[in-house]
Structure 1
Amino acid sequence: MHNLISLFIEQIKETTWVQWLAVALGVAEVLLARVNNIWLYPAGILGTSIAIYLLLDVGLYAESILNGYYVVMSVYGWIYWLKKKNEPPVKISWQTKNEWIISLTICVVGWVFFYVLLKNLPAKYFTPSNVPVWDALISSTAWAGMWLLARRKIENWAFLNVSNLFAIPILFYKHLPMFALLTIFLFIIAIFGYFDWAKTEKQESGSKS
């Protein structure tokens, strides 16, 4: 236990200001997401752009691709939330049957795709991943969660938390302690976010009846 604490302290000391900035933006993004504030997207775009560089540096290639997807989905989500001036805002809601099929398909197909990709990355250009199964799982479940977040679906929090749960030990293993602590924070916030969004959806549904 003492050795683990010492290792953690040493990793914190080695944390760069770039990692601190990425973590700060990640915290801002999730807090804004919890209160359903559209400013989560610009914070997320900047934070994930920085994370791409950091994750590539430690060989988490699927998570790097995932963060590129985060940037794209953040832009999509920003536009989707804004919509046209005279249209009603996008409401929080539960997934439909078709959306469940799509989100689960993203998870399964994404997991297989990332695993095959990571196992066959050309060694000439990349250092082979030593955690391809977990890297692929973390990324595929988060892909589905981000798609649902962009559409304001309550289940996004559950999918993102599956990703968070597996990401925490991997990030410690890859000597990214601040990212690991951020992920623990995201995991906790996502639990509250799920219940907050469910409460909001219930109130909005009740007001229509």
Structure 2
Amino acid sequence: MDLVEILGFVSGALCVWLVAIQNVWNWPVGIANNIAFLVLFWTSGIYADSALQLVYLALAAYGWWAWLRGGAEHTTLAVTRTTELQWLLLAVIGVLGTTGLLAYLDMMTDSTAPLPDAATTVLSLLATWGQTRKKLESWWLWIAADLIYVPLYAYKDLWLTAALYTGFLALCVYGLRNWQADYTRAAAGNPASSATGQVSGSEPSATS
């Protein structure tokens, strides 16, 4: 446990809580978290998760914009469901991505946990995409990833990070329920949103 892991713990917990309440400031906090974890994972030999932080930085920039201007006619974004076609594409990308990354880590690096490293990397990318578009089911992808992350980080003696991801599970359940309630209100014809980070005076619009 060191300063970098502590910074990752604090910024990570704050970021997920802000996502759960749909506060747009989760994105800059998330960027700080990405930098901390990039350093932590690289020095721990979890290379795929380390490189993943660079992709997160790009997704964070997109997500920041999308939450504010990604809805219909550049309005704030509303919570929507993942379509059947999107699920199919996610499944194909998930299988191919995990298989390819596993082969790379196993043959080209000295990764100490190639399979969970590859699986969590791909799951996290898919979940983050869903998060940038406010897809309700992105929380289920995060839950699946966290269930692998916790024993992985414990195995690497990153106990504070393992504890953080245990907390993430609880926050994911809270976020899922919060987003579900928001989606249900919108589906019932009530435009009021619980999204703390939405721009005042603009109405959320569902997007695909």
User: Smaller-chain TM-score range?
Assistant: 0.7 to 0.9
Whether the aligned pair in 1 keeps the contact of 2:82 and 2:135 (CA below 8 Å) is: yes
Q: Residues 45-124 of structure 1 correspond to what in structure 2 (within 5 A)? A: 45-83=31-69, 87-121=74-108
1:167-206 C-alpha deviation (Å, 9 max, x unpaired): 1011011111111111001111101111111111010111
Aligned to 1:31: 17
d(CA) in 2 for partners of 1:173, 1:49: 22
The answer to whether the aligner puts 1:41 opposite 2:27 as a matched pair is yes
Q: Residues 124-143 of structure 1 correspond to what in structure 2 (within 5 A)? A: 128-143=110-125
| Equivalent residues, number | 190
1:79-126 C-alpha deviation (Å, 9 max, x unpaired): 1112279632111011012211222223212211210110122xxxx5
Asked which structure has the greater RCO (Cα within 8 Å, sep 6+), the reply is 2
Paired amino acid for 1:109: L
Paired amino acid for 2:179: W
- Name which of 137, 141, 144 aligns with 1:162: 144
Paired amino acid for 1:106: I
SS in structure 2 of the partner of residue 59 of structure 1: coil
d(CA) in 2 for partners of 1:36, 1:133: 32
d(CA) in 1 for partners of 2:18, 2:70: 22
d(CA) in 2 for partners of 1:66, 1:24: 19
SS in structure 2 of the partner of residue 120 of structure 1: helix
TM-score (norm 1): 0.86
How many percent identity over aligned positions?
24
Gaps of 5+ in 1: 1-14
Aligned-residue CA RMSD (Å): 1.7
TM-score (norm 2): 0.86
Indicate the larger mover: 104-113 or 19-28: 104-113
- Name which of 190, 193, 201 aligns with 2:175: 193
Paired amino acid for 2:6: W
